[in-house]
Amino acid sequence: ICGTQEEHKQLEARISDFLGMEDTILYSSCFDANGGLFETLMGEEDAIISDALNHASII
């Protein structure tokens, strides 16, 4: 059910072309997207302030 298939790669390429970007990453779930986003944007010196109303992947 999960994983990267040729259709995903084609969609990523079309989104990249549409947005004029070098590359695009599609995630199969919010949990995976949040994990990938925060690991990319946040460093050791950064802090995330969160509460119980956020998605469980952020808390």
Query: What's the confidence (pLDDT) of residue 34?
Result: 84
Domain count, the chain: 1
Q: DSSP states of 1-44 as a string?
A: --S--HHHHHHHHHHHHHHT-S-----SSHHHHHHHHHHHH--T
5-45 confidence digits (pLDDT tens): 899 999 999 999 999 999 998 888 888 888 888 888 889 99
**Domain interval for residue 43:** 1-59
| pTM exceeds 0.75, yes or no | no
Residue 1 has pLDDT above 80, yes or no: no
